[in-house]
Structure 1
Amino acid sequence: MFSHKVRRLPRIAAAGLIAMALAACQSSPRPEVQAATPVLAPIAPILGAAEERGHSVLVVDAGSGAVLHEVNAEALRYPASLTKMMVLYMAFEDIAAGKLSLGDAMVVSPEAASRPPARLGLKAGSMITVRDAVTALAVKSANDVAVVMAEHLAGSEGLFASRMTQKARQLGMTRTRFVNASGLPDPNQVTTARDMAILGRALKMRFPQYASAFRTREFVYGGKRYEATNKLLGTVPGVDGIKTGYIRLAGYNIVASARRGGRQLIVVVMGGDSQRARDLEVASLMEQYF
């Protein structure tokens, strides 16, 4: 049953932007001086366990933050590769703070190179630019690239995951905990549809200059062509991103955004039975609420 009760996600207001900017300025230096950086205080555990392939839905008016429809929006879920939305958010913050640039080259560690598909197949000791990494994360959802970015920004994937969780709290994502940068299976890595909508909206509102990465339908790297995992692009009117995800525990997840007639929606579906079923549900919800 559809619910038309109007709620609002946290606003990305001026005060919030200032707070996030201050937090970004206080974040860790580059890995070469990482030894002097104290470990962040642990996040309190999130009570309960995520439901395997649990189904959740949330439809949000991106402009106002009004929640137009929700089903199990607060229930714990496994984010899978939706995790990479936070990796990108933190990279964009570092770029905005002048700590990172799109042309910077990042070293691929043996740990990053060992990650299973989806991946670019990067070799240990090779380099990848931040620009290419952003594209690979947004389009291909490359697990090896996620670890490269995490290690470059924080020195280790574990420390970066702690910072991802801290950033989630700053954004108002109260039921999200990250333990890795890729979204690969871990029972301790949990989120909710509402938290993913908050993150998707924050990406769209704070970093519109990178929106093209999320609507890119294919790219070429190392002589290979990679197609976007988001098959709604080019098939559902107005869709312009954001991110898909899948692991067996989660089912098929997506945070999708679309604009029609000056209005923008963010639709979250988690726990889809298949890619097709998930995408059909998103398309139906967009028709319902536009």
Structure 2
Amino acid sequence: MHPGGITEQLLLSPQTQIHPVLTGFQQVRPDWRIHLRVLPEYLLYVLLKGGIRGILGNDRRQFRLRAPAVLWLAPGISHAFSPAAEMSPIVLYHFRFRCTHPELPVSGADGFIMAHELPQTEHLARRYYDAAQQPFSSDRGHVLRCLLFLIYRDVITASFNLPGEPETFFRKGKRLPAKGTKLSWNQRHLLFEYVRRNIHRRLTPAQLAEEVCLSPDYFSRVFRRTFGISPRSWLTRQRIEYAAHELLQSPDSVSQIAERFGFQDLYLFSRQFKQIMGMAPSEWRKREFGSS
């Protein structure tokens, strides 16, 4: 089991309850500070614009994050944050939540996880933010757990373990090219919103390019620099992740949900779903959410 296995077990188990403590989206002031503290809950930051720096863990490890990036802290990890540059605007989602399970312990969970260059996590954070505002229900708890698992899986996938460290610490192992223009935060926001509004249509890379007013060829180049994959692969990933969410909420069959998100071939849908989610759609529905 990789480090952080306790958190993964919690998020995979249908018996786990998610209890939001604080859910926020904000542009912070230049004098924003979080003084050294230890919290009994999980803490998740999704950094959309700007940068933060600080210290983490018992050994006061210094770190610096620049958007787009994610920082995930387990309960009991000491931390302190401040802006990475004075007068630099910072836009972020910040979530505090508790996980409870009748059998699995929360104490002793993985320490802290961070990864750079994760702009695709923005839409998952937005959906978590919206879902956490809804009145309490068992369905809401399942939705929150699903979204947290997808975010956690993204960060783990984009990270590697640094052996021999006193804390469980991850960071991105393969960096994207540093040179060249990337899509701005506003352009990324436009793309995620466009996909959200049109997820049931068969979208093309050319339509994405038009949405941000770029030529298809230039858009393809800067898109790959930004996300690390092609626009077409990214669109497939979005459709699969929305389908995974729908498998949680809808009693419809796998084939009906596949068709709803533009997959006419059930075999192709199942194969791509397994490549992205790590398991077949039927296994995902049964294992993640206890569906029959």
Structure-2-length-normalised TM-score: 0.29
Structure-1-length-normalised TM-score: 0.29
Give the greater-gyration-radius structure (CA). Answer: 2
